[in-house]
A and B are shown apart, each in its own frame.
Chain A
Amino acid sequence: MKEESNQEVKILQGNEAVVEGALAAGCRFFAGYPITPATEIAEMMAERLPPLNGIFLQMEDEIASICAAIGASFGGMLACTASSGPGISLMQEGVGYAAETEAPIVVINVMRGGPSTGMPTAASQQDIMQAKWGSHGDYETIALMPSSCQEAFRLTYRAFALAQKYRVPVYVLSDEIIGHTREKVRIPRGLSPVERQRPRGEKQNYQPFKAGPDGLLDGMPAFNEGYKLLVDGQLHDERGRRAAHIPEVCARLTERLCWKITIHREEIYDLEAAFLDDAEIVVICFGSPSRPALRAVKDARAKGIRAGYLKILTIWPFPVERIRALPDQVHTLIVPELNVGRMVREVEDATAGRKEVLSLPKLGGLLHTPGEILEAFEKRNR
């Protein structure tokens, strides 16, 4: 461990960086269940949380894990869970419950190959659509995708901030490669924990689900603080009372659960661009493939190809406008991803046919080589 003035430099595995990010954000509750390749997160939480007066629970399954985390969230703590593939599938009813009751929780998915038990020890990005559509009914989530251990730290910290602000389940979509890669992580000193906004209204007759004009709720009260909270997974009115029989109340809530995220998308977006100024072919990447993609862009540049790089760190909400804003001279977009080619459809939608979009899917658990992406640049170079 090397000491520097304003930061601590550590060599961390991605799974460890996630834990550091969560603890720095003030997460003090974790409930989980062992699963490859996410287990290290639980192991490290089990060691680190108790000395911080936090709670680590190994539950009987992933359903119980996410439910315990939601219980702790309304209990007043910043809470999270972590899993992979089959475990994330089991958690989906909890994700929907958290979305519907506006419970801030963070769900770490260290993605492995699927479907079903799939490839426990190999990476994929096959769960990116699950992160948006996994639970039944209409709702929105936020999903962040790190491509390095440093980003795993930073995005996990941010996931807690976003969860508290937008009162929504936030995913960190890591994968087996990042989870098990060890590299340098700079942890800023004196990073303040995420503050949960306190409720501002009177306790008497408080309306815990009354949103402001921005669609967001007032601060979050916890159980046993005198607010007499009623938290219901059924559609409810602003007091929390069952409203499944009142069409307009149900419609209003369901719509708000979606637009409270989409109208704030510009504040949520996080992208990184490089070599875009004169670029004609741009790689649109996210997560692990961003790394061979950047190498490929540099190699293409060395060969005189006007290659560009756009990395998406917040895949949900999808940054449609940022793709649309790519200048006219960009004629082709290359989309490498570790699945059959899912995000490429979002990119195609965003370009509305004005650019050529080349899908570069990769399955089987291996990462694209820079050469494979470079080859795509070379093929499309006019």
Chain B
Amino acid sequence: MNPIGEKYLRKDSLPFLWCPGCGNGTILAATVRAIDLLGVIDDAAFIGGIGCSGWIPVYIKADAFHVLHGRTMAFGTGLKMSNPKRKVIIFTGDGDCLGIGGNHFIHAARRNVDMTVLMVNNQIYGMTGGQVAPTTPLAAKTKTSVFGNPEDPFDACELAKAAGATYIARWTAAHPVPLSKAIAEAISHEGFAFIEIIAQCPTQAGRLMYGISDPGAMLDFLKGKTISAKAAQGKSGEELKEKYIIGTIFQDRERTEFSKRYFQMVGKSGRDA
């Protein structure tokens, strides 16, 4: 095991429960590299939701919650407020965040609670065997959209922006280095930081929706759909259709983070702050 893995992984929890070729391992590695860069492991409080990506925190040697489906940000708000020094880092899937947890997501963003939300988007409910998700493309066939998905998917970054998130980025699991850098930025950002990570799920999304079951081919396929935020500027909606805009999408450094604002207003410092 490399020194970073040695330092930050719970070896007694290995091997990973993910399918071969899953993107979650890359995202875990990008996260611990960011943690290592910032040196914040002792202040980190990880929370995972339900679904494949919700398991990422249980492999990190740090304080971690594996919580109820969709409720990561509600737990995270309590955890953050009970000690504002904490760096709350959340792993949630597209179903966990935008489906069952949609209400908590928009309100945590609206409050601008200082937390890092890493939403792993594989466009499908993978853990339960490949059902249609709020991010599944229109017309895509899954186990519960047998005749094609009649629904349009959410654009999670636009939703985060409208709700009030103050750091928003999108990357894919095919971009491990810029992803790790973005995670470090998100953790350093004081406020609600959201990164959508488009990840390959060769087992479910690949097989059912794209007819690709080779992880490498799926990574190439996802990467081929990306366009940088800079290159996307000035392009029409038609030109950007079915493209993933990657990079830092939005950042507002001015708006005061929730716990700071709360303690300023009540005239207190907060516990251990």
A contacts, CB < 8 Å to B: 28-29, 31, 50-51, 53, 55, 57, 59-61, 63-65, 67-77, 79, 93-94, 97, 223-224, 226-234, 239, 241-242
Contacts and interface: CB of A to CB of B under 8 A. Distances in A.
Given A29-B78, A55-B82, A57-B77, A50 B268 contact: yes
B108 to A, nearest CB: 9
B223 interface: no
Contacts of A70: 75, 78
Nearest to A221: B63
B61 A228 contact: yes
B273 to A, nearest CB: 9
Interface string B15-47: 001000000000000000000000000111100
Given A29-B81, A223-B63, 16 more contacts: A29-B78, A50-B267, A51-B266, A53-B271, A55-B262, A67-B67, A67-B74, A68-B75, A73-B78, A74-B79, A223-B83, A230-B64, A230-B66, A231-B66, A232-B66, A233-B67
Query: Chain A binding site: helix, strand, loop or mixed by DSSP?
Result: mixed
A67 B81 contact: no
Interface residues of B, number: 40
Contact of B68 (A60, A74, A97, A227): A97
Given A224-B42, A242-B58, A230 B10 contact: yes
B104 interface: yes
A64 B266 contact: no
A94 B79 contact: no
A353 B270 CA distance: 57
Contacts of B144: none
Interface in B76-102: 76-83, 85-86
Nearest to B62: A228
Contacts of B81: 29, 55, 57, 68, 72, 75
Contacts of B221: none
Interface in B49-68: 58, 61-68
B104 A75 contact: no
Given A71-B75, A71-B78, A53 B269 contact: yes
Contacts of A229: 63-64
Given A28-B271, A61-B103, A230-B10, A75 B82 contact: yes
B260 interface: no
A248 B270 CA distance: 43
A63 B82 contact: no
Nearest to A28: B271
Nearest to A205: B12
A71 B64 contact: no
Nearest to B43: A224
A228 B78 contact: no
A37 B266 CA distance: 27
A242 B59 CA distance: 11
A71 B68 contact: no
Q: Give the residue among B65, B67, B76, B268 with the most A Cβ atoms within 10 A.
A: B65
28 contacts: A50-B268, A51-B268, A55-B81, A57-B81, A64-B77, A67-B67, A67-B74, A68-B75, A68-B78, A69-B78, A71-B74, A71-B78, A71-B82, A73-B78, A74-B65, A75-B78, A76-B271, A79-B78, A94-B68, A94-B71, A224-B85, A228-B63, A229-B64, A230-B10, A230-B58, A234-B66, A242-B13, A242-B58
**For A29, A63, A65, which residue has the most chain B Cβ atoms within 10 angstroms?**
A63
B243 interface: no
A97 B71 CA distance: 11
Contacts of B104: 60, 63-64
Contacts of B42: 224, 226
Contacts of B103: 60-61, 64
Nearest to A231: B65
B143 interface: no
Given A28-B271, A70-B75, A75-B78, A223 B107 contact: no
A67 B81 CA distance: 13
Contacts of B10: 228, 230, 241
B75 A67 contact: yes
A87 to B, nearest CB: 14
B39 to A, nearest CB: 14
A188 B83 CA distance: 30
Minimum-distance CB pairs A-B, first 9: A71-B78, A75-B82, A68-B78, A50-B266, A67-B74, A64-B74, A72-B78, A71-B75, A71-B79
A49 to B, nearest CB: 9
B12 A239 contact: yes
A224 B66 CA distance: 16
Q: Which of A64, A231, A241 has the most CB of B within 10 A?
A: A64
Contacts of A71: 65, 74-80, 82
A349 B123 CA distance: 53
B11 to A, nearest CB: 12
Contacts of B75: 67-68, 70-71
Contacts of A224: 42-45, 63, 83, 85-86
Given A53-B269, A224-B42, A233-B68, A64 B61 contact: no
Nearest to B87: A224
Contacts of B74: 59, 63-65, 67-68, 71
B24 to A, nearest CB: 15
